[in-house]
Chains A and B, each alone.
Chain A
């Protein structure tokens, strides 16, 4: 390898370091946070941004999609109409890494607290420190170094909220990075429906990198819907870090379609007996799109349960990767875990990689996984067409039915908006070259 190659390899990192040097004075930082940001950036420089020789990034070429000439998002530009316009929710809007709207204190029920990260960081806010430790993940470290804003949400003990909380993150600027960091904390027995929507046309290789830490105290229940509806040439990375205590329950749906590169990284720890994690993911990737779901679920306590269902389609030269790793710690006896990944390839040039992994260190567990890739059933296609339904429409119907196992879990009031979005997406994805 020549010196020139080495230099090329480091360009992303040196660009980030230069950007950090330039921007750090303007980032919201109480005294305790400044060295943590510097350490996070140092780790990015030291370890580098992921490349495809890193196992967890084997199927997703981040560097190739990422520009080395990025500036920090300013919040310029007008967001497009929201997918969830008009649906009743406590709304937090983020544009270009800045919170632009959030509920006033007097609009919130007792026990529900919502504050922007930027606002919180104007105070010492030392209580936040536990969510700002540099780690080993390059994207999360990058996020910590540059985080500009985010939503901090706490639901008080035993509070069961009917009205969902909706965080919408938009990025419409070209050539920028946007890093937001949010915390969702449910106290004992609290219940919340949380919707996170990413949208906007992330133009010209922008990077929208968001991190949400979720803590469920004993008996808390979170109903979670995440939709990445971004379009355009940009990269969207979503990091989720979840802690489930005793008898806490997480029920989630994560959907992704339209971005040049959308990666959902989720790290889940089941730390209390009876914790229950149940996630369904769906993706539809068309020409020039890439979707990646990378999950790690760690069973740290006995009698914990996890379920993962991933379903998706790829057409044209679309690409998707689903990686699910389940770890069962020695003390996590009676773990019950299952993951299933099913995919439909709509074209010979599309690619879907599925990699389930199990690491079991306990001896009394029930763990399973399955994966299947196929094409649309020709018998079903003939049946629909023989009744007069044109080929593309018939295929889209079958794809929608295939993804239905996931989309039917979308919380009721969001269902028709999600269906309409997916139908519109399939009109594009389904029309990609076969």
Chain B
């Protein structure tokens, strides 16, 4: 699904990623953990193609395609989805309109038929009800006046509607209370499939109790410092990052 090799990247001239290598297989869920400033969010932005995040060397291959030559919107149409750590408010654009436009744009880019309005609304109703989101919420401007938890749920709703092959969740658990966390995790687990992979970026082990990963990577100083199974997350929770960071 995703092959990252010796990836180096800078932001505003500052080196953030320093030779990161990672292989994510089809249907796998990998967790990326690490202290603040280790490059977790940078990795997610580099993969999604955020302007200003410059790759200086290394390769990223997504389903056989060179990801780094693709535009942001092309990556989305190819199946990459980034759930933002800080979802953006867009006054004047309703969530319904946003989702419909995104779905149609992706369908068009892939040469597929656009979803008709009735089918779209039916799917939207189903997905938002699974996430306990009201009709009123999707009729409001995107994320405007939403609480932190509501914004995160809106990210998961978008993911459920867009059905990506690779979902990158950037600290989707931050700012969530335990009920919201369970809801979001259920949403993610419901989407786990042999042809869909997840990169779950998190600070805490808590989320990984609900979304059980196949592998856990610890990021330190812009590269993978340690890789293990779900146990590694629990170990980190108990011991902290210090030891690994020092070793890196």
Q: Which residues of A contact B (CB under 8 A)?
A: 377-380, 382-391, 393-394, 397-398, 400-402, 404-405
Contacts and interface: CB of A to CB of B under 8 A. Distances in A.
B162 A383 contact: no
A398 B88 CA distance: 13
B106 A388 contact: yes
A386 B82 contact: yes
B136 to A, nearest CB: 18
A258 B49 CA distance: 35
A386 B76 contact: yes
Given A387-B102, A389-B101, A390-B105, A398 B73 contact: no
B92 A400 contact: yes
Contact of B90 (A383, A391, A393): A383
Q: Which 6 A-B pairs have the closest CB atoms?
A: A401-B92, A388-B76, A387-B102, A388-B106, A385-B72, A383-B88
B98 A387 contact: yes
Interface in B71-108: 71-73, 75-77, 81-82, 84, 87-88, 90-93, 98, 101-103, 105-106
B90 A398 contact: yes
B88 A385 contact: no
Interface in B22-60: 48-51
B51 A389 contact: no
A149 B73 CA distance: 53
A65 to B, nearest CB: 33
Contacts of B106: 387-388
A405 to B, nearest CB: 7
A389 to B, nearest CB: 5
Given A382-B50, A382-B51, A401-B93, A389 B88 contact: no
Give the interface SS of chain A, mostly helix, strand, loop or mixed.
Answer: helix
A388 B71 contact: no
A187 to B, nearest CB: 38
Interface string B180-224: 000000000000000000000000000000000000000000000
A389 B92 contact: no
19 contacts: A380-B90, A384-B102, A385-B72, A385-B73, A385-B76, A386-B75, A386-B84, A387-B76, A387-B98, A388-B73, A388-B102, A388-B162, A389-B73, A389-B102, A390-B105, A393-B105, A397-B101, A401-B91, A402-B92
A272 B136 CA distance: 43
B178 interface: no
B109 interface: yes
Given A388-B73, A389-B105, 11 more contacts: A378-B51, A384-B102, A385-B72, A386-B48, A386-B50, A387-B162, A388-B77, A389-B101, A390-B105, A397-B93, A401-B91
B158 interface: yes
A425 to B, nearest CB: 17
A385 B91 CA distance: 16
Interface residues of B, number: 29
Contacts of B93: 397-398, 401
A388 to B, nearest CB: 4
A141 to B, nearest CB: 41
Contacts of A394: 73
Nearest to A399: B92
A393 B103 CA distance: 13
Nearest to A377: B88
Contacts of A402: 92
Given A379-B88, A401-B91, A405-B92, A387 B158 contact: yes
A397 to B, nearest CB: 6
A400 B72 CA distance: 22
B90 A401 contact: yes
B80 to A, nearest CB: 8
Pick from B76, B77, B92 the residue with the most CB of A within 10 Å. B92
Contacts of A377: 88
A404 B91 CA distance: 9
A119 to B, nearest CB: 45
Contacts of B141: 401
Contacts of A384: 90, 98, 102
Contacts of A401: 90-93, 141
Nearest to A393: B105
A327 B71 CA distance: 52
Contacts of A391: 71, 73
A378 B90 CA distance: 12
Pick from A379, A404, A405 the residue with the most CB of B within 10 Å. A379
Given A388-B73, A389-B73, A391-B71, A383 B102 contact: no
Contacts of A390: 73, 105, 109
A388 B74 CA distance: 7
Contacts of A404: 92
A151 B96 CA distance: 44
Contacts of A378: 51
Contacts of B101: 389, 393, 397
B73 A383 contact: no
Nearest to A405: B92
A352 to B, nearest CB: 19
Contacts of B103: 388
B123 to A, nearest CB: 16
Contacts of B84: 383, 386
A382 to B, nearest CB: 5
Nearest to B88: A383
Contacts of B51: 378, 382
Nearest to A381: B51
Nearest to A379: B88
Contacts of A386: 48-50, 72-73, 75-76, 81-82, 84
